[in-house]
């Protein structure tokens, strides 16, 4: 009885606190200074699944499905501590929402020139039984030059603000600088620990980009 009372009292406080944190980061996302920079992205070893559909409904549904899958088949791995990524192949401004393609998953390892071979890391992950038995994919997002925008984000509202601002800013930057995105798609990396989302627009033609 006492535990029920404690939960009943504390739950509204927790809900309010979460809402205030989301609101603060949404305002930060809306008004923070956004300066895209050109950086060389290292090799990213990623675990992912593919999704076709709208960014606002189908992608979140695919995320929840992937979360449940990895949590049930590999509970010993702290998936909540890993950065998440989404590779968006199509733009809903020019494509019907139900036709938009994306790859969603987790960043398993970041491999630069001083670390271990990314292909060896990917091969080791592919040998995991749950990868093979649940239709998941492991690949290396190859190193290369990207146009990068980094913003504070936590929750769906702040993410939407970040996405709109980042897309507009990256398009303006590429147009003003004469840069060309050599491959279709925008890569997002979400850090739950840092409470930030990083948008990367590849500027080099990398044919080994994650196959859909």
Give alpha helix (H) positions in 32-155: 58-73, 118-126, 129-133
Token digits for 121?
Answer: 């890391």
* Backbone torsion region of residue 185, taken as left when φ is above 0, otherwise alpha when ψ lies between -120 and 50, otherwise beta: left
Please give the mean pLDDT across all residues of the chain: 79
Q: Give the dihedral sign, CA 112/180/176/92.
A: negative
CB 52 within 8 A of CB 99: yes
pTM equals 0.79
Tell me: the pLDDT tens digits for 83-133? 999 988 876 666 666 778 889 999 999 998 777 899 999 999 999 999 988
Q: How far apart are CA 1 and CA 152, in angstroms?
A: 41
Q: What class, spelled out in words, does domain 37-202 have in CATH?
A: alpha beta
Q: How far apart are CA 120 and CA 116, in angstroms?
A: 8
DSSP 86-103: EEE-S-TTTS-GGG-EEE
Helices H, strands E: what count in the chain? 5, 8
The phi, psi pair for 211, rounded to 5°, reads -75, 140
Give the pLDDT of residue 161: 81
44 vs 171, which has greater pLDDT? 44
Instruction: List the one residue out of 15, 93, 16, 24 whose CA is nearest residue 54.
Output: 93
Question: Three-state SS for 201?
Answer: strand
Tell me: the pLDDT tens digits for 183-197? 567 889 999 888 888
Give alpha helix (H) positions in 127-197: 129-133, 156-177
Q: How confident is the model at residue 47 (pLDDT cuts 50, 70, 90)?
A: very high
């Amino acid at each position: 009885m006492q535990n029920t009372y404690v939960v009943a009292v504390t739950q509204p406080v927790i809900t309010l606190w979460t809402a205030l944190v989301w609101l603060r980061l949404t305002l930060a996302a809306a008004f923070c200074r956004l300066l895209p920079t050109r950086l060389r992205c290292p090799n990213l070893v990623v675990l992912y699944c593919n999704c076709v559909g709208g960014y606002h409904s189908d992608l979140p549904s695919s995320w929840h499905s992937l979360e449940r899958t990895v949590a049930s088949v590999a509970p010993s791995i702290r998936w909540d501590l890993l950065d998440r990524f989404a590779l968006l192949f199509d733009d809903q401004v020019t494509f019907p929402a139900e036709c938009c393609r994306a790859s969603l998953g987790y960043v398993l390892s970041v491999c630069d020139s001083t670390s271990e071979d990314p292909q060896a890391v990917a091969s080791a992950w592919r040998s995991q039984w749950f990868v093979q038995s649940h239709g998941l994919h492991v690949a290396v997002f190859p190193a290369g030059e990207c146009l990068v925008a980094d913003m504070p984000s936590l929750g769906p509202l702040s993410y939407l603000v970040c996405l709109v601002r980042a897309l507009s800013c990256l398009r303006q930057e590429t147009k003003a600088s004469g840069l060309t995105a050599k491959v279709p798609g925008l890569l997002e990396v979400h850090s739950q620990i840092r409470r930030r989302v990083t948008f990367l627009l590849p500027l080099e033609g990398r044919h080994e980009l994650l196959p859909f």
